[in-house]
Amino acid sequence: MKQIAVIGSGTMGNGIAHTFAQAGFTVKLIDISEKSLEKGMATIAANLDRMVTKGSITEEDKHKTISNIITYTDIKDGVVGCDLVVEAATENVTLKMNIFKQLSDICDHNVILASNTSSISITQIGAQVVHPERVIGMHFMNPVPIMKLVEIIRGYSTSDEVTKIIMDLSVKLGKTPTEVNDYPGFVANRILMPMINESIETLYNGVAGVSEIDTVMKLGMAHPMGPLQLADFIGLDVCLSILNVMYDGFKNPKYAPCPLLVNMVMAGKLGVKSGEGFYDYSESKKAEKIAKQFIK
């Protein structure tokens, strides 16, 4: 594998592009918005600058990484000559289905098609594609350049050969691939999202406040960040979307999203990216100030 296409230049997409490019691959970063591509490339440059400052890479490494990335606004142009396409678009079922239908039409049948979905069925995605045995899940963790885990999700039709190729490729990226089967939420979010949802329920029921809940989990359970802060970091809309996928998939009420989470998303309080969630990020991206709604 030499050329990789990444569809979507948001947080996950630009992180995946950064990771492949730093490992020496030619990366074609694709997004329908030129402005989003510019923002994605600026994020990559800023993250590389931080790595240079910390001494983990050299200035030359930074320039090589950036030079390995080419941007495109047309998916047909972007995927030409690629051995692997990684879709990292918004966590929306309809959007992902449409992208994979396009990829099925425009990519050669030997091109591996991967999705960075955090919850949507790889089997369902693969059903949109001719030769679904080449469709697989590569669920990277955020921030992608730093986090070691990649969940490798086999769909019902995913072949052993494709699974091995992607497992080996993940190792070449310096990641630790972990193979899981295709059920709603996979492993990471099947365990994480109910914990986040229960933390929101605990707040909703008045058991404790935002900082108290996060403090208990950080100091009592040795979590690096509290579940409410983590929800803000992930994006409350993303959390809601994943919970809805799991609730629809299992038909089990334990996955039903808390009404407080639903209301916050409808109100546009999405966490760090909107400037407010359980914490107020208007002055700092750090979770230092509780959102006024939750101040007693």
Tell me which residues are annotated as active site.
Answer: 118, 139, 151, 189
CA angle 174, 76, 110 (to 5 degrees): 55
Distance from chain centroid for Cα 226:
19
Element (H, E) at 69: strand 69-72
CA distance linking residue 144 with residue 226, whole number of Å: 20
Element (H, E) at 115: strand 112-115
With both helix axes pointing from N to C terminus, report the angle between 236-250 and 259-266 in degrees, rounded to the nearest 10.
130
Under DSSP, is residue 87 helix (H, G, I), strand (E, B) or coil?
Answer: strand
Closest CA to 92 of 118, 111, 69: 118
Check if the beta carbon of residue 138 is closer than 8 Å to that of residue 117.
no
